[in-house]
Every structure is written in structure tokens, then in C-alpha cells.
Amino acid sequence: MLAPVLRRFVFAVSALALVGVVSSRLAADESKKDFALVGFELLAAFNYVPPGYETMVPGATTSPEDAAKLNAQIPDYVRELDAKKISVTGFMLPTKFKDGKVTEFLLMKDQSGCCFGAMPRINEWIIVKMVQGGMPPLMDVPLTLIGKFKVGELFEEGYLSGIYQLEGEKFLTPKA
């Protein structure tokens, strides 16, 4: 009974230590003032109601009226980040690989979707597309990425796949 609790505690302490190391490296980069620090506490701080699946047909396009209704759910303080360079920390869920490197992935607020089967809300992940060649798969550790952020609904084959996208330019790895 005590062993699972102790393992979770050790994992949590390790994750916090890694976040601290990355945060100190990030503070040095932030002094250059070429990007904004953004966290999921801001990006996920509002309720977003996605359209029902019964209304979406593969290959269909969203009408301008429907797109405007969806976009109106995203608060101004988040929309102001569109097309800006940001830094954000989260957990990797790889979706595409090339030559052993991850070229596209979801940057998740936490690991609950991976480890515990909980469905994250659509504003709790960012679709990341690496700009240059990809990066090593680094799952189960917090990653900090820097890149151009896009805010707005992303549809694939008529289905809403996300509301955030990041063109990943640089990632910071924790140093022990």
C-alpha cells in the first residue's frame, strides 16, 4: 500500500526538480526578451465547448458563422498571443516520427491522458510541429519549447483537432 504512494511522491519530487532546472535555464533566455513565458494555467483557464461530432463530416469545411462562434470562445488575453514567439512547458505525446526523431507531437498540460486515461480538455494541449528536423523522444519529463504560437481552431478532415499550434524552434532539456 505504501509503495505506490512512495513511488508517486518520488516521481512528483523528481518532476518538480526538473522543472526548477529548466526554469533557471529559461530565466537566462528570457532576459533576451525575444519571447513571452506562457503556461497552461493561462491557456486552459477558460471553458471551450467543441462542436459535436455529429455536425462534422470528413472533408467538410466549417462555415464562417460556425468558425466565428468557435473562435469567440477563446478569450482576448489568449488570442493576443497569436503569431507571437512564446515559451511553454508541458509533456510530450509523440504523433509523428522521422529518422528516429519526433517531428510532431502534442505538448500536454500533464500526463493524465497518457498514464491515467483521462481525456484532456482541448485547451490543455498544443499541437507542436518542429521546424528543423525534429527532436529526440523525451516522454515523462517536462519539456520547455520556444517557438511561434498560433491560436485558433485547427480542423483535420472536418474534425476539430486543436485550438493551439506551436512551430517548435528550440527546446530546453533539463540538465542534472
Residue 53 has pLDDT above 90, yes or no: no
Judged against a pLDDT cut of 90, whether residue 61 lies above it is answered with no
Phi, psi (5° rounding) for residue 130? -70, 135
Examine the pLDDT at 64 and tell me if it is beyond 60. Answer: yes
Angular region, 33: left φ>0, alpha ψ -120 to 50, beta rest: left
- How far lies 60's CA from each of 40, 56, 73, 96, 121, in Å? 31, 7, 22, 24, 23
Residue 107 pairs in a beta bridge with 92, 126
In this structure, which CATH number among 2.40.50.870, 2.60.40.10, 3.30.565.10, 3.40.50.970 belongs to the domain 2-172?
2.40.50.870
pLDDT value of position 139 = 85
Burial label, 31 (beta-carbon count in 10 A; 0-12, 13-18, 19+): exposed
Mean pLDDT within 108-116: 77
Mean pLDDT of the chain: 79
Instruction: Decide if pLDDT at 155 tops 80.
Output: yes
% of the chain at pLDDT higher than 90: 51
CA distance 127 to 109: 12
Phi-psi sector, 120: left (phi>0), alpha (psi -120 to 50), beta: beta
The CA-based angle 17-18-24, given to 5 degrees, is 90
What's the CA gap between 76 and 96, in Å, rounded? 31
Model-level pTM? Answer: 0.75
**44, 123 Cβ separation under 8 angstroms:** yes
3-state helix, strand, coil in the chain (%, to 5): 30, 35, 35
